[in-house]
Structure 1
């Protein structure tokens, strides 16, 4: 059972929930840039939430099915088609042997997720198949390669799954201006009050300099009393402020240590929403505490657990 890659698109990677437990030796986590979309895709199919999927960035992916199965598509609307018939994200579809699945270019958002009933079955490295090209880990070859034309993606054994879709209230609108909560970090007091006010009262633009390591933003420069810090561990979603004052949000393939001061951090769900925005998108910030971020995650986890029409418990 497999999917054959007819066209790998601009950047299509195999991702599971991430390579956890190795940051202390310099190995980053990898994993899905948008956890919200990734987790819902597995939930729609009643897969384990960590099951491997395809993360499709910017589109142009084409697949040929060599077996019957069910799929779920979530995240960005990349103009998906099955046998040249347009389909919408955030729901499941039955796939027959010989069917073709195509993605074109972004309509809304940047990254789509394609989950398969039973999950993908690539080899594991350090307990994960998450693709981190810089570290040459994960993917079909175990060496961090993105998908290539002619690749065969092994699939797990499918289970019969009912037609299901994500509740409308859980589907983000990636075209809206983005406003994200920031949890202040322990270096926060080293940013003068005027600089904090500037950071939280201005809009920033997503620059051209974005990838799976980080998102560089353009806007009002922020200054810190610290010229630099001793390199230390970096959390997912941390907002570094380098010497030029332009914020950099650290994403899934971030380096494990760094020496720039950090004004705070986004939650995982917040960073995932940022990952769906491309150059030119607007983003602004407001301060939140850890309790608020935890409450939002608990609400998301509960909604994910309760499921949606057609999803079994």
Structure 2
């Protein structure tokens, strides 16, 4: 059976783990902006890693349950309620036919993840149902559309009761200033010691110009030795520096090539934390070795049995 979409909210997308193996054709990966919250939602329900979920940005989504199931809600606190009663994030909840789930606006964080037992069912395009609106791929309609009123989100009904909650140590604080490690690479050496010192000692703010493609930051401008390079492939988390000197962190729906110098790259887990920060949030950068990022990833994967 399914959920019926009563109000799609500001931006609600169907996302699985992402679309890989096609960047050489100009097709970006898509997938969850906050991998940490996404992975925990599937883990709580015992779903296969990467099972499709809803990514709810900013809130205002309203759903009606057309069948019994068990859900998990993680990520931002968007003031969710079931039939008017509060629904706590980072936990599971059984829902029944006729129940209504509604989200308000952010109390903490920016993006929430709603998973159902067994995952949502959707058409697969290029190995994934991840929604990338710009490329017209994925989602419930298979053509990259965001949720609309009247849409039906299909899943396998279940009366199973799963009671689980994410441990306190794994729940991030989205309101504190964010410190992100940066792995040197790309054109790191194009920035002299003065520019690098300025970058790592500055405090940047998340600007109003943020979306699934990338986050534009504002703060002390930094300048590379040259303003442009021959276009090259762009990794998830790359920090490019355009002509105005203000960093842009490239995220899930980034373009696959670009010609701005890049001072380095944050990890996928770091990008997950950035994706929960709204305009005005503070961000600091510090150097990080690739080995440290790999260790963090190994610990994360081990804890979630990935």
TM-score range, shorter chain: over 0.9
| Cα-to-partner distance string for 1:17-56 (whole Å, 9 max, x where unaligned) | 0011100100000000000000000000000111000000
Name structure 2 gaps, 5 residues minimum: none
Give the corresponding residue for 1:51. Answer: 51
Structure 2: distance between partners of 1:127 and 1:200: 39
**Contact map agreement 2:68 2:159 (CA 8 A) in 1:** no
Give the corresponding residue for 1:309. Answer: none
| Cα-to-partner distance string for 1:179-223 (whole Å, 9 max, x where unaligned) | 010011131111000100000001000000000001000000011
| Cα-to-partner distance string for 1:212-264 (whole Å, 9 max, x where unaligned) | 00100000001101221110000000000011100000010000000001000
Give the corresponding residue for 1:160. Answer: 160
* Offset of residue 161 of structure 1: 4.7
State the TM-score, normalizing by the size of structure 1.
0.96
1:266 matched to 2:270: no
Q: State the SS of the aligned residue for 2:36.
A: helix
Structure 2: distance between partners of 1:89 and 1:159: 21
Structure 1: distance between partners of 2:156 and 2:192: 54
Give the corresponding residue for 1:22. Answer: 22
Q: State the SS of the aligned residue for 1:255.
A: coil
What are the equivalent positions in structure 2 for 1:189-208 lying under 5 Å apart? 189-208=189-208
* Offset of residue 122 of structure 1: 1.0
* Offset of residue 11 of structure 1: 0.3
Structure 1: distance between partners of 2:231 and 2:157: 45
State the TM-score, normalizing by the size of structure 2.
0.98
| Cα-to-partner distance string for 1:143-189 (whole Å, 9 max, x where unaligned) | 11100001111113547352000000000000000001001113111
**Contact map agreement 2:93 2:162 (CA 8 A) in 1:** no
**Contact map agreement 2:68 2:157 (CA 8 A) in 1:** no
Give the corresponding residue for 1:214. Answer: 214
1:106 matched to 2:106: yes
Q: State the SS of the aligned residue for 1:165.
A: coil
Q: State the SS of the aligned residue for 1:164.
A: coil
**Contact map agreement 1:12 1:55 (CA 8 A) in 2:** yes
Q: How many residues align?
A: 306
Structure 2: distance between partners of 1:147 and 1:244: 35
Give the corresponding residue for 2:81. Answer: 81
Q: State the SS of the aligned residue for 1:296.
A: helix
**Contact map agreement 1:118 1:158 (CA 8 A) in 2:** no
Residues 289 and 3 of structure 1, relative CA distance in 2, 3 Å threshold: same
Give the corresponding residue for 2:181. Answer: 181
Q: State the SS of the aligned residue for 1:31.
A: coil
Structure 2: distance between partners of 1:233 and 1:159: 46
Give the corresponding residue for 2:12. Answer: 12
Q: State the SS of the aligned residue for 1:4.
A: strand
Give the corresponding residue for 1:32. Answer: 32
The runs of at least 4 consecutive aligned structure 1 residues that moved more than 6 Å come to: none
Name structure 1 gaps, 5 residues minimum: 307-313
